[in-house]
Structure 1
């Protein structure tokens, strides 16, 4: 018998489903902490504690997690994991009739369902004409606001210098911060500007916006992924490239020159490899590592793989690993009730980032993660912990009444309310306007 230690804290004992639990999503994700037990692993799920009436058996697993593709019938089950001919203590769980059935197909199915044309993230090529027609009608006000910002961006430079290396923060933190902070904010703003320009191109068909977005993404794609913006040296600079970058490239794909596109593809290929190595080969997210930045990088890697799948041979491998992580393990700082253990500020940032993937998967692949109970629970939690009239909300850092924080909270709740189909928090969102 493989020895394991039970603990109430899920970051110390990350086994899922917990013993005697009733998962609210069917099928549940299975995860365990292997310790010194080497891969490959096995998983057995049975209807009896002796594990004879087997309903699911998975062998040869490279990672200590598994998300079945098919839901279980209602009832009680027992599960265990195996390694090296030995097995762990069986845990039991019960699938109730009220559990949400959410079957997530393989990553290969995701890729098969994605259109081969661009754009493919959030909007398909065949939907662009409808979007452009709407700016003279239902979206006229929104277009006027977007156009004003995009026109301002057209007047700005579309080149960005590669950042310098950071000073040693252990020797001189002030010097480190003076270098690090401008790199963070200037690179974020630069790519966010490219996103706005790309959206203006989609909405209007005005190639001035597309050309500016292409120039920006080509410029930042000339950075050396192994240099000053390498993930291990300055992860914020690394993430500035891939945060919104994949989406921008998708939206203006056909407007790049061949030479520009080759530079962009190579940049994102190498950034993807670096991110996968950092996320997969240096601990298992949700099992042995729970660092906050990892919660961003899993999303950015998934979007990168979806946009560049034809040009990066490892894209399917990355998505197969990310499938149980993003569709089962996540969130590692919350449960089905939606409360975020890091507080509402960090929760807003990381849940908003996750909506990027959830929406892309829903729109592009027909898999609706917003049906998981967490989403509705999180929106309701925000209603109670973050009333519109509050001057200081507490429960974590960045608790001051900053305009961006207030509007970001309202935008997140509104998005969840729409995407989950709850349609119950519009009055709450309106109070922030």
Structure 2
């Protein structure tokens, strides 16, 4: 049926049914018409994606003016075991050795020079090869322009990040587990912490059988989802309780609580990584198990015997190694991987932090996370402060958005939050989900009515502190007041309102 006929049929249907009196009909007609026109003009099969699932060309685009100095260079990955790359860039298209920046062999398809580039035209190439190969063919040279207006973002090299890692344990900041920071606790507060975790000390730990669903569903789709939801909930409870005892141990130094950390870590280590908490059942459950064991390994390190340490380490590696094997030479080229950016990347990073020095691969894992974050964050955005998934899913990323660059800053001294995206995020919140209002409705879950939850106010409070932004401070104050919550850390009067 021609497009015009389809549109007319829809119009007549909408106007000759009981919905005739509703204004919804007049909204539906132009929307459906627009969709039909697009399909007619381009055809569904012939439409070229705006963002391919995986990078299919070198970036930045040839001849482009870069927004950042230095830019991160990316290219299509070659998916095979032992893949390596080299990159070279120069002001001279002939790439003379004495005037060319050349990377070390790279196991991932991204390179950031970590030095300020002179203004002008730069040429670059990459080569892909397998370990053991000597013959390499460089890609065609591409160019980009660095102008004086490019934003300086000269980050330290990954070696500096690794050098900042503490040699002892614990290494994962206690404030990254939960707030407030223990330094702000009084003696009375510490006693209250001890009382709160008493119910967790020595209690029976749940059997792995409880991760299996109680409902099977009537078909394969339902069965898969019941298994996923049950697995996720089971592992989330394990992680929640682990965080409670780890934070209490870090805050009080009470050895009884530290022993509970070890006991719970060994319990998670005993779960079958191919069983009901496997990644193939729920990647969130797998991530929760990784984080729970990482925290136990880090905070219980000095309380464990060598045998206990080995047991926990082996179980942690069994889950963490496959994660990085799937990500390296892959994730950096993917347009988006929501679950990984939400939680799992930070959870696996904690595992690498805890294992560094005991597991040789941990250095590469940490270097990859560091280079990935510099090159790709924020995914699907640049500087506007917005989030492509919409406001509801935005909150699922808050913890990672704070803690991962916070760890990088702590180890290098460089402010990774000094980015226009972070500076603009409070205004995304202000315009799209004002205090006392429903959200703009874009994205899954955003259709639910109601004002911003406390987590949005807490994130805005963090940004208000970091940038001394009074608008972010006002937003945080209004949201937290409505949610009857307190900002952490508290907002000084100077940034409570514009």
What TM-score, normalized by structure 1, do the two folds share? Answer: 0.82
Structure 1 residue 155: deviation in Å? 8.0
For residues 235-246 of structure 1, what are the structure 2 equivalents within 5 Å?
A: 235-243=283-291, 245-246=293-294
Would the aligned equivalents of 2:293 and 2:312 in 1 still touch at CA under 8 Å?
Answer: no
- C-alpha spacing 1:264/1:48, structure 2 compared with 1 (3 Å): same
Would the aligned equivalents of 2:85 and 2:105 in 1 still touch at CA under 8 Å?
Answer: yes
1:294 to 336, 340, 363: 340
Counterpart Cα distance in 2 of 1:181 and 1:40: 38
Cα offsets for 1:386-425 (capped at 9, x unmatched): 212123441111222578x612222222233434565651
Would the aligned equivalents of 2:231 and 2:285 in 1 still touch at CA under 8 Å?
Answer: yes
Would the aligned equivalents of 1:42 and 1:81 in 2 still touch at CA under 8 Å?
Answer: yes
Do residues 109 (structure 1) and 160 (structure 2) align?
Answer: yes
**Secondary structure, aligned partner of 2:426:** helix
Counterpart Cα distance in 1 of 2:368 and 2:183: 40
**Secondary structure, aligned partner of 1:41:** strand
Do residues 46 (structure 1) and 90 (structure 2) align?
Answer: yes
Structure 1 residue 429: deviation in Å? 0.6
Moved more, 332-341 or 375-384: 375-384
Counterpart Cα distance in 2 of 1:183 and 1:36: 31
Counterpart Cα distance in 1 of 2:195 and 2:312: 28
For residues 82-93 of structure 1, what are the structure 2 equivalents within 5 Å?
A: 82-83=127-128, 84-88=136-140, 90-93=142-145
Structure 1 residue 308: deviation in Å? 0.9
Counterpart Cα distance in 1 of 2:65 and 2:256: 54
Would the aligned equivalents of 1:370 and 1:416 in 2 still touch at CA under 8 Å?
Answer: no
Structure 1 residue 366: deviation in Å? 2.8
Counterpart Cα distance in 1 of 2:465 and 2:102: 37
Do residues 308 (structure 1) and 351 (structure 2) align?
Answer: no
Would the aligned equivalents of 2:265 and 2:293 in 1 still touch at CA under 8 Å?
Answer: yes
5+ residue gaps, structure 2, are 1-47, 129-135, 176-180, 481-498
Counterpart Cα distance in 2 of 1:155 and 1:393: 47
**Secondary structure, aligned partner of 1:111:** helix
Q: Which residue of 1 aligns with 2:75?
A: 32
Moved more, 411-420 or 366-375: 411-420
For residues 22-171 of structure 1, what are the structure 2 equivalents within 5 Å?
A: 22-34=65-77, 40-47=84-91, 54-58=99-103, 60-83=105-128, 84-88=136-140, 90-97=142-149, 99-106=151-158, 108-122=159-173, 134-136=184-186, 149-154=196-201, 157-161=204-208, 171=219
**Secondary structure, aligned partner of 2:333:** coil
Count residues with an aligned counterpart: 416
Cα offsets for 1:322-355 (capped at 9, x unmatched): 3321221233222122211111222221243232
Would the aligned equivalents of 1:162 and 1:223 in 2 still touch at CA under 8 Å?
Answer: no
**Coordinate RMSD, CA, aligned:** 3.5
Do residues 215 (structure 1) and 215 (structure 2) align?
Answer: no
- C-alpha spacing 1:375/1:271, structure 2 compared with 1 (3 Å): same
- C-alpha spacing 1:264/1:366, structure 2 compared with 1 (3 Å): farther
Counterpart Cα distance in 1 of 2:292 and 2:412: 20
Q: Which residue of 1 aligns with 2:455?
A: 408
Would the aligned equivalents of 1:303 and 1:357 in 2 still touch at CA under 8 Å?
Answer: no
Structure 1 residue 301: deviation in Å? 2.3
**Secondary structure, aligned partner of 1:79:** strand
Do residues 176 (structure 1) and 228 (structure 2) align?
Answer: no
Q: Which residue of 2 aligns with 1:355?
A: 402
Which structure: larger Rg? Answer: 2
2:330 to 267, 284, 287: 284
Counterpart Cα distance in 1 of 2:142 and 2:218: 46
**Secondary structure, aligned partner of 2:442:** coil
Counterpart Cα distance in 1 of 2:71 and 2:456: 29
- C-alpha spacing 1:102/1:189, structure 2 compared with 1 (3 Å): farther
Would the aligned equivalents of 2:287 and 2:348 in 1 still touch at CA under 8 Å?
Answer: no
Moved more, 407-416 or 264-273: 407-416
Q: Which residue of 2 aligns with 1:260?
A: 308
Would the aligned equivalents of 2:93 and 2:123 in 1 still touch at CA under 8 Å?
Answer: yes
Q: Which residue of 1 aligns with 2:387?
A: 340
Cα offsets for 1:109-133 (capped at 9, x unmatched): 3232211111212259xxxxxx656
Counterpart Cα distance in 2 of 1:55 and 1:80: 11
- C-alpha spacing 1:145/1:222, structure 2 compared with 1 (3 Å): same
- C-alpha spacing 1:333/1:150, structure 2 compared with 1 (3 Å): farther
Counterpart Cα distance in 2 of 1:91 and 1:171: 54
Would the aligned equivalents of 1:414 and 1:425 in 2 still touch at CA under 8 Å?
Answer: yes
